[in-house]
């Protein structure tokens, strides 16, 4: 799960901050500092669903802004997927909506 969480963060931050002609954002970039796998690993170990949702929400919010908000087709779908992720209340329930969110972000990159 930690890898999927980190990937959602990475894809979101790529949408928000990466621009053509510049170096790509990588997992070890400073912008990823609060969203690296070990940060998510700690949250998962603690069972901190709310903390995980906050971290993912921060990144997805930036991505949503970068694609024009909820007034766009892509924005509405991203918002729907993020809402599905945020309604889950147990660690075990996060996998399916997390993978859907990751796959969607990958597709729109």
Cα distances (angstroms) measured from residue 64 to each of 59, 79, 104: 9, 7, 12
Residue with tokens 């087709």: 73
pLDDT of 29 = 87
Specify the higher pLDDT residue, 23 or 57: 57
- Closest Cα partner for 86 from 51, 62, 40? 51
pLDDT in tens, 61-91: 999 999 999 999 999 999 999 999 999 999 9
pLDDT in tens, 4-38: 999 999 999 999 999 887 888 888 888 899 999 99
Cα distances (angstroms) measured from residue 51 to each of 56, 72, 99: 9, 28, 18
pLDDT of 32 = 93
């Amino acid at each position: 799960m930690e890898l999927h969480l980190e990937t959602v963060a990475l894809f979101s931050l790529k949408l928000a901050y990466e621009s053509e002609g510049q170096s790509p954002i990588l997992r070890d970039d400073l912008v990823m500092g609060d969203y690296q796998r070990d940060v998510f690993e700690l949250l998962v170990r603690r069972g901190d669903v709310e903390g995980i949702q906050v971290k993912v929400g921060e990144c997805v919010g930036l991505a949503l802004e970068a694609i024009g908000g909820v007034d766009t087709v892509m924005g509405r779908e991203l918002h729907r997927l993020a809402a599905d992720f945020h309604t889950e209340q147990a660690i075990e329930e996060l996998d399916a909506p997390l993978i859907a969110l990751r796959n969607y972000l990958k597709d729109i990159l």
